[in-house]
Copies of this chain bind each other. A is one copy, B any other.
Amino acid sequence: MTETREVVLKRLNKRLAAISDVGSANSVLFWDQQTYMPKGAIVGRAEQMATLSRLAHEMLVDSETDRLLDAAGDPDPEIVEGALIRRARRDHEKATRLPSRLVEELSRATALAEPAWAEARANSDWSRFAPHLEKIMPLQREVAESLGYEDHVYDALLDGYEPGATKARLEVMFDELKAGIVPMIRAISSENGGDRAALLHGEFDEATQERFGEEVATSFGYDWEHGRQDRVVHPFCLNLGPGDVRITTRFDPDWLSPALFGTMHETGHALYEQGVDPSYARTPLANGTSMGVHESQSRLWENLAGHSRPFWSCFYPRLRSAFPEALGGVESEEFYSAINAVSPSMIRVEADEVTYNLHIVLRFELEVALLEGSLSVADLPDAWNAKMEEYLGLTPKNDAEGALQDVHWAAGLFGYFPTYAIGNVLSVQLFDEAVKNQPGIPDAMRSGEFSALLGWLRENVHRHGARYYPDELVRRVTGRPLETGPYLRYLNDKYGELYDLTR
């Protein structure tokens, strides 16, 4: 019995759509877990998420999936269908290397670890989280060994978030960043005491913060008909399936920055997911192509737009009138200087643009050591503190502002952190290209108009979803590989002026 190519593709698409649906269902379960789920449901929810992970995995590794992929034809990314086959083949092969049992165990372990981490962080009590990480580490190692790698065990995990990236290539990038950034931080530190940001602390009514954040997200282009915003401990953006990309935030009534810039950041992620060609729905192309490219979008909107003079020349008067008591006496240029104050600090998500990447280097080095087994879970908090001292000259006063600050390891996201640095570097490379092609972008931003910028990103990045791998995409869009040059030039120009470093 012969099967036409059309029939093969129809069957393949149906199968991939079901896999995508189960993945989306698991995203809804995760979103609910993070936002509204009652505490007493933790264990039951972990089982549900583990079961869905196992089912999706079983469908993906099924021999029928294999057969259909073989019969479906050429994985040529220049044709959408080919890109879909290529991406599905990659997912299938990765999944095939992972035993169902391992996927389920890791899903259950992380579902239990995350609430334990939240408790541990709230109480700054490493011992509440450590047993969970002890359980996760050997599972992570088993995952990496099962996936396989050429050079280093870390590459196996990294490739899951950033196809094509390797520890060796990252080390080159991190060396270039350190060479450019460390002298800059030294020069800035000798330049001034860093209290420029003090005015961001004060009384900021939560409801007003929320409304202002929504206004900014709307002006960036976030589509509320296909999304919503809720409150969580550790903010994220999540695609819950076709037409449903949600953002989350947390509010500090005494500090403007976390919710304000957090909302911009998650909106950046959301614009990418909302911008994918709708015809890719329920296929492996329906999401951003990698975490690094994703982070380039969140950082572009958070930093290149949201920390820029053009943006605030339009939005600062609105912000000041929203918070007349806290900001009534603050001039626009003073505010711009405050939000761009550079000062080594404990918490990654609160770090300024310049020191941010050193937080990533620290995590990268620690997770490589954890994975290699040269660092134990018990020694992790001390190792963290030692590196904070080495890179930023600071010692965390407790583990909540040290090794417990991020959810990633509780969630089993080893190999994820470097994508934040890739995103920083790429955000500038893409923004430069956007402005080169649409020189009116900065002026439009000055009048609160972001459709030219969003339009360019939609056309060149968003709509492609996962069609191209990151290296291909960056080359297609900028004609160059990912490179640190534009990013370091941007930092030098911006902070050179802000801190008068050119004298």
Chain A residues engaging chain B, CB cutoff 8 angstroms = 17-18, 21-22, 24-26, 28-29, 31-32, 36-45, 47-48, 50-52, 54-55, 223-228, 230, 240-244, 246, 281-282
* B226:A52 contact, CB within 8 angstroms: no
Main secondary structure of the interface of A (DSSP, over half): helix
- Distance, CA A55 to CA B282, complexed state (A): 16
Q: Is the beta-carbon distance between A226 and B21 smaller than 8 angstroms?
A: no
A378 to B281, CA, bound (A): 35
- Whether B40 pairs with A243 at a CB distance below 8 angstroms is yes
Give the chain B neighbours of A228 by CB distance below 8 A: 36, 38
Q: Give which listed residue, B40, B241, B246, contacts A45 with CB less than 8 A.
A: B241
A38 to B228, CA, bound (A): 7
Q: Whole-angstrom distance between the alpha carbons of A229 and B281 in the complex?
A: 33
Known: A22-B52, A28-B32. A17 touches B281 (CB 8 A): no
Q: How many chain copies does the complex carry? A: 2
Contact partners of A18 in chain B: CB under 8 A: 51, 54-55
Which residues from chain B contact A22 at a C-beta distance below 8 Å? 51-52, 55
Chain B residues lying within 8 Å of A31, measured Cβ to Cβ, are 32
- Whether A25 touches B48, Cβ cut-off 8 Å, given contacts A32-B32, A55-B55, A228-B36, is yes
* Beyond A21-B52, A25-B48, A40-B226, 15 extra complex contacts between A and B, CB < 8 Å: A18-B51, A21-B48, A22-B55, A28-B28, A38-B226, A38-B228, A38-B243, A40-B244, A41-B241, A41-B242, A44-B242, A44-B244, A44-B281, A45-B244, A48-B241
Closest-CB distance, A55 to chain B (whole angstroms):
6
- Determine the distance from Cα of A45 to Cα of B26 in the docked complex, in whole angstroms: 12
Question: Using Cβ atoms and an 8 Å threshold, which residues of chain B touch A282?
Answer: 44, 47
Q: Do residues A243 and B41 form an inter-chain contact, with CB atoms below 8 A?
A: yes
Q: Contact at A243–B52, with CB atoms within 8 Å?
A: no
A246: chain B residues at CB < 8 Å are 38
Question: A259 to chain B: closest CB distance in Å?
Answer: 19
* B residues less than 8 Å from A43 (CB atoms): 242-243
Q: How far is the CA of A350 from the CA of B227 in the complex (A)?
A: 34
Chain B residues, Cβ within 8 Å of A223: 40
Q: Would you give the shortest CB distance from A11 to chain B, in whole angstroms?
A: 15
Instruction: Contact check, B225 vs A39: say whether CB atoms are below 8 A apart.
Output: yes
* Most chain B CB within a 10 A radius of its CB, from A29, A44, A54: A44
Instruction: Report if A242-B47 is in contact (Cβ < 8 Å); known contacts: A22-B55, A38-B227, A41-B226.
Output: yes
Tell me, rounded to whole Å, the shortest Cβ–Cβ distance linking A20 to chain B: 9
7 A-B pairs with least C-beta separation: A44-B242, A41-B244, A40-B226, A21-B51, A40-B243, A44-B241, A40-B225
Q: How far is the CB of A12 from chain B (nearest CB, A)?
A: 16
Task: Give A25 to B56 CA distance when docked, in angstroms.
Answer: 13
Closest chain B residue to A33 by CB distance?
B28
Closest B-chain residue to A31, C-beta based?
B32
A-B residue pairs in contact (CB < 8 Å), sample of 7: A18-B55, A21-B47, A22-B51, A22-B55, A38-B227, A40-B227, A44-B282
CA distance A480 to B178 in the complex (A): 82
Knowing A32-B32, A281-B44, say if A244 contacts B25 (CB, 8 Å).
no
Distance of A100 Cα from B75 Cα, bound (Å): 32
Complex: how many Å from CA A110 to CA B50? 27
Interchain CB contact under 8 A, B38 and A225: yes
Report the bound CA distance from A36 to B40 in whole Å.
21
- Give the complex CA separation of A230 and B54 in angstroms: 31
Q: A24's contact among B17, B44, B224, B225, by CB below 8 Å, is which?
A: B44
Question: Is there contact, CB below 8 Å, between B29 and A25?
Answer: yes
In the complex, chain B residues whose CB is within 8 Å of the CB of A44: 24, 241-244, 281-282
Residues of B within 8 A of A26 (CB): 25
Q: Which residues of B contact A230 (CB under 8 A)?
A: 36
Complex: A244 Cα to B49 Cα, angstroms: 14
Q: Contact: A24 with B48, CB < 8 Å?
A: yes
Q: Nearest chain-B residue to A241 (Cβ)?
A: B44
Contact partners of A50 in chain B: CB under 8 A:
21
Q: Please give, as numbers and ranges, the residues of chain B lying within 8 Å of A227 by CB-CB distance.
A: 38, 40
Known: A226-B41, A241-B48. A25 touches B24 (CB 8 A): no
Residues of chain B contacted by A241 (CB below 8 angstroms): 41, 44-45, 47-48
Residues in B whose Cβ lies below 8 Å from that of A39: 225
Cα of A18 to Cα of B281 in the assembled complex, Å: 27
